[in-house]
Chain A
Amino acid sequence: METLKKLVPSDLNASKWVRMILGILVLALLVWRLVDVILIQRLYGPDTWARFAITGLIIGGMYALIAIGYTLVYGILLMINFAHGEVMMLGSFAGYFVFELLAFIPSPGPENPEQVLLNAFPVLSILVAFLVGMLVSALAGYFLEKIAYRPLRKAPRLVPLISAIGASIFLQNAAMLLFGPQRRTYLNPTLLDRGLGLEIPIAGNNVLVPYTGIFSFVLSILLMLGLYLLVQKTKLGRSMRAVAEDKGAAALMGINVDAVISRTFIISGILAGAAGVMWGVHNGLLNHYVGYIPGMKAFTAAVMGGIGNIPGAMLGGMTLGILESLGPAMLGIDFQLKDVIAFTILILVLIFRPSGLLGERLSEEKV
């Protein structure tokens, strides 16, 4: 850390004072608000805090899944996959249509002629929805890379970023033209009704933890574990790490770099697709714009954890989810300003610790 700081003496030194003053200001503001809200005003009871934290954790799991996609791609191509949020959105739509279709077909079973497939086989329906969502997102990721990024592998760094922005705009508007701009309500099987949940008594009040939330959280943890095993234990994981380390050397060692990059996009797509379906199942709302904000937040999370670092992305996602959910209450500000908190955290992280929580320090340029 020390040495790398010395690698970029020039500009860091010049802005050191600015950053210090800014840091003191931010800290002072934070302390003032926290003391004011928690100790003096006592706006919320422990049950409310717990509810905020649980909500944050659930959303954080989804952020983490999307953030891993950013991190994987950044680690290998050193580019921000700006269209990743849209990949998630496509997965969300795929899951939605699976549920709609299953709710359309009557159950073949004789016992209850009124029931539709969706509720007759809820577990299977959910499984199919997730699989289709993941498949669609994986395909989207694959073709995105193949069409919009692969021809630009050797271009200056700005070029693929612009291409990614273009792809993002295209996908968003394609979804709008296909499915319309209106908000749709995700139709869950009754098993995962958004009103149902566990009641946990905290400080005399019952806090409802929705089943959708528990389900999403568990699923995201499982997926993250799976990804971790994939990256650490399998041959594909090894080659992914090798390509991230040094593309040229990896190619010399007989690794098919193009194939590894393609697979990285597929894996990112799978995780984003799962997050997309979860988003729909848990939050219930869907339109063509649904990927944008989670995508931005997840990128923030990836940067927070240290971009290129997979455990970092997971930690960053969870942390961001919780901070964002607790933030407005802790600071005692309008809940509309939730997104401001996420973006402010992003800026502060980049200013004070560009390497993120777990990442190695990325200097501007190495001499």
Chain B
Amino acid sequence: MKKNVTALQKGLNTGITLGVVMVFLSLTAFTVVLANIIGDSYRPTPVTYGFVIALFGFFGGLMASSKRGLPNDDWKNVLTSSAAAGLIGGVILAVPLAVLGSIHLNGTDLRNYLVMVSPDVMETYLFGIGLLPAILITVIIFAAGAILGGAFNKGAARAEWRARWMANSQEKIRSAWQAPRVQQVVAGRYSKLFFMVGALLLLFLMPFVWGSYWNYVMGTVGLYILLGLGMNIIVGLSGQLVLGYVAFFAIGAYAMGLLSSPEPLGIQLGFWPALLASILVAALTGILLGLPILNLRGDYLAIVTLGFGEIIRILIKSDSLTWFTGGPKGLRAIAQPAIFGLKFNSDVNFMHLILVGVLVGVFIAYRLQYSRTGRAWLSVQGDQTVSRATGVNTYQYKILALALGAAFAGIGGAIFASRNQFTGPEDHVLMVSINVLCLVIVGGMGSLPGVILGSFVLKGIPELLRDLTDYRLLVFGVLLVVMMIVRPEGLWPTRRPKLEKQHLSKYDPDNDEASSEEVSA
């Protein structure tokens, strides 16, 4: 749809967009944080900061010199476009910096209005030199980065030798994979079993090696996998958009807490009975919630369930229900599991418990997904009216999906509460629902590997980027939008089973005369 524009125009457009983004990143001090990460220090240096600016410029140059929209990609066009992008972007970045810089040099602390722009950050933006030279340097570095980016794009990334090299290496990998010896091992009789046992052993041993921090992080990822599996049944299979999933999680956690904590009810059941109760209560809530509202259209359902989640959270938090829920303080001293008198109280034990939970969960979800039940759900997602007219009791299947999905959340919540030995209203905010929904969608709706991948991406990677904690949600929001635009089917889209092939390999094709008569009968 884009009109053909000249190289200069394209460069200007790219530059303006990039400039605005850069201004935003500077005002939130993101550039400085990046500089810190690159320099591996707590204080940015002019060099690392300059490098970050150049890096963004380089990126802009890459964008400005991409083939799309350029009339042709000879050197002149590429350089014009990237230089224009660099210059205009640099100027747009420099103007607010100049304004802020002069205010800063007046001795005003900008943090009253722009919370991240501390005097230190401001000093970095000014490279520790005067206002005017700093502005000039910013523009020059940015533009230089952009021109370099354009040149790199034209000279290296798009060059013929690179394409040839890529093709060559792909070919090499393929031939190595298809080598008889490799195939023998892969397709060998026990290799699958061997591989699985190895993987299980590895999973079992990892918690001992990792240390408690990683056990905590990976435990969280595991819990989110469990939640994601349940959400995947509800959203990915039966196609109901539920935004109040956290309600089930909260109910699971609170059922565990209330039944096993000494306060406020003092029932103090053990972990296992409480776990069972959590699952049942959560599933029951799913059914009760589903009964009246499942005839609602998709986005209405989303809002009703969102409202339900908020109601649960507000009720938990409310002072007037403290006698029952513990109120804003939450629940403490929640029971931990024990098997044959062996107490689960270390992080390793909990990691193992979560691993077992995840494995069982994946197993159950897998079997459900590729069964008659799973197909019925998928048909409801595809076209509810037709599904019903084809003989699927859509209403029952939707409620079943909600109940099973809620049960998964219940397990997740119960283990979560027991692991932390605590649960309170702040554990059950809307963000949990949105996180779970997003991991399902980012992974790929209806795809089990997608759920696992999505959990790692959304809960694991942010833990790696500790330095970026403040920016995590920001990046998350952008990621969601970009993901929906670029790859709405998810990172690991679902694949349907090859049932015909499976059937043919099981039954000799020459021998199915008999069964075809069955149909006509």
Interface residues of A (CB under 8 A from B): 8, 10-12, 14-15, 18-19, 22, 79-80, 97, 100, 147-148, 151-152, 155-163, 165-174, 177-182, 296, 299-300, 303, 333-334, 336-337, 339-340, 343-344, 346-347, 350-351, 354, 362, 364-365, 367
Contact = CB atoms under 8 A, between A and B. Distances in A.
A300 B307 contact: yes
B384 interface: yes
A339 B308 CA distance: 11
Contacts of B481: 147-148, 163, 166-167, 170
Contact of B27 (A158, A163, A178): A178
Contacts of B295: 8, 11-12, 15, 364
Interface string B309-321: 0110011011110
B303 A334 contact: no
A151 B2 CA distance: 13
A142 B473 CA distance: 23
A83 to B, nearest CB: 9
Interface stretch (B261-269, B286-294, B332-340, B370-378): B286-294
B477 interface: yes
B432 to A, nearest CB: 13
29 contacts: A11-B394, A15-B294, A15-B295, A18-B292, A19-B292, A148-B485, A152-B485, A152-B488, A155-B484, A158-B441, A159-B484, A163-B481, A163-B484, A166-B477, A166-B483, A167-B481, A172-B473, A173-B471, A177-B29, A177-B474, A296-B306, A296-B307, A339-B314, A346-B303, A346-B304, A350-B296, A351-B304, A354-B300, A367-B385
B319 A336 contact: yes
Given A180-B116, A296-B307, 4 more contacts: A11-B395, A15-B295, A159-B484, A162-B480
Contacts, number: 175
Contacts of A158: 235, 241, 298, 441
Most interface-central of A159, A162, A334 (chain B CB within 10 A) = A162
Contact of A170 (B235, B438, B478, B483): B478
A171 B384 CA distance: 35
Given A167-B481, A173-B477, A157 B298 contact: yes
Most interface-central of B306, B320, B479, B488 (chain A CB within 10 A) = B488
B113 A339 contact: no
A151 B488 CA distance: 11
Given A159-B484, A166-B477, A350-B304, A177 B115 contact: yes
Given A14-B395, A151-B485, A152-B485, A166 B310 contact: no
Given A11-B395, A163-B484, A79 B477 contact: no
A160 B320 contact: no
B437 interface: yes
A365 B388 CA distance: 12
3 A-B pairs with the lowest CB-CB distances in the bound complex, closest first: A166-B480, A170-B477, A180-B115
B113 A346 contact: no
Interface string B113-149: 1111000000000000000000000000000000000
B426 interface: no
Nearest to A12: B295
B320 A333 contact: yes
Given A344-B311, A354-B296, A364 B434 contact: no
Contacts of B24: 174
A364 B384 contact: yes
A334 B388 CA distance: 45
Nearest to B288: A18
